[in-house]
Structure 1
Amino acid sequence: MAVGSAINPNDAIPSAGKVELLFFGQLKERLKCDKLTLRITEPLSITALKLKLVEKNPHWKAWLEERDVLCALNQTMSSSDEIVKAGDELAFFPPVTGG
């Protein structure tokens, strides 16, 4: 690195500020998205993160806010008040029905 060159903090830690989002099952089909990288500036609850997604994609509201979507934060089933930080992975699943 050249002396005096600016250091971008995101270059040092590739996941800084980014959350990997995964969508499964009917959600993946309805949202037409299987994965997405979202940049966040501070830790957010899963509920706040879903609101952020709906702001960017208003047609997702019916699927992310109005249904009982299941979430796994870093591969652990989580409630909507869990906190998501940079570098985390958050997966969304449609509600499970039995037969």
Structure 2
Amino acid sequence: MKLDVRLFAQARELAGAEHVSVELPDSSTVAALREVLAAQFPQLAPLSPNLLIAIGTDYASSETVLSPDADIACFPPVSGG
């Protein structure tokens, strides 16, 4: 399946794009998405294990199964005070 992924903050800066497309087998998980992002965009590899992945308006766990019509967004870890 082909997925369109929106990138935010440092992830967007490192990839040099607001949107990226990735190919994954059907029924792939968020963990697989992280791996493909790191492989396809090596500059994202340092962030990949800690990227926050949102599907729609909810953050997803590594085990969440993705669907072709998913609205996916990636955020680097956030800290604040």
RMSD: 1.6
CA–CA distance in 2 between the matches of 1:54 and 1:69? Answer: 11
Retained in 2: the 8 A contact 1:40–1:86? no
CA–CA distance in 2 between the matches of 1:18 and 1:87? Answer: 9
TM-score by length of 1: 0.70
Runs of at least 5 residues in structure 2 that lack an aligned partner in the other structure: none
Instruction: Rate the CA distance shift 1:27–1:57 in 2: closer, same or farther, 3 A.
Output: closer
Query: Which one has the largest radius of gyration?
Result: 1
TM-score by length of 2: 0.82
User: How far is 1:60 from its partner?
Assistant: 2.1
User: How far is 1:25 from its partner?
Assistant: 1.0
Residue pairs, 1:60-79, within 5 angstroms: 60-65=44-49, 68-79=50-61
Residue pairs, 1:1-99, within 5 angstroms: 17-65=1-49, 68-99=50-81
Structure 1 vs Structure 2: percent identity of aligned residues? 23
Runs of at least 5 residues in structure 1 that lack an aligned partner in the other structure: 1-16
